[in-house]
């Protein structure tokens, strides 16, 4: 652990609960944004998103209504829905 991180942890420990919640929200947003930027720069992810969009254009998808009776495969559907947004 670096000295800077150790100092940051000490500072966080001194915060009130409300301040820790505010910091948590800031960090959560920052992490989500950094992860999204990484996904957009990752060639494999970009290629997969493009493939999914092409499948969607060809009508190769399933709606949630059709899938509601069969709960297996939800993770796959969820990942494909994310690619459409």
Q: What pLDDT is stored for residue 78 in this prediction?
A: 52
Q: What is the pTM of this model?
A: 0.47
Q: What pLDDT is stored for residue 62 in this prediction?
A: 73
Q: In this prediction, what percent of the chain has a pLDDT beyond 70?
A: 73
Residues 29-64 pLDDT 10s: 999 989 888 877 888 888 888 898 998 899 887 776
Q: What pLDDT is stored for residue 44 in this prediction?
A: 86
Six-digit token string for 24: 């948590």
- CB-based contacts of 62, cutoff 8 Å, min separation 6: 77
């Amino acid at each position: 652990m670096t000295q800077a991180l150790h100092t940051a942890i000490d500072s966080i420990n001194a915060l009130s609960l409300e301040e820790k919640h505010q910091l948590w929200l800031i960090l959560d947003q920052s992490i989500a944004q950094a992860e999204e930027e990484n996904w957009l720069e990752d060639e494999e992810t970009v290629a997969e998103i493009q493939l999914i969009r092409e499948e969607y254009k060809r009508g190769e998808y399933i709606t949630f209504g059709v899938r509601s009776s069969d709960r297996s495969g939800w993770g796959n559907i969820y990942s494909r829905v994310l690619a459409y947004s």
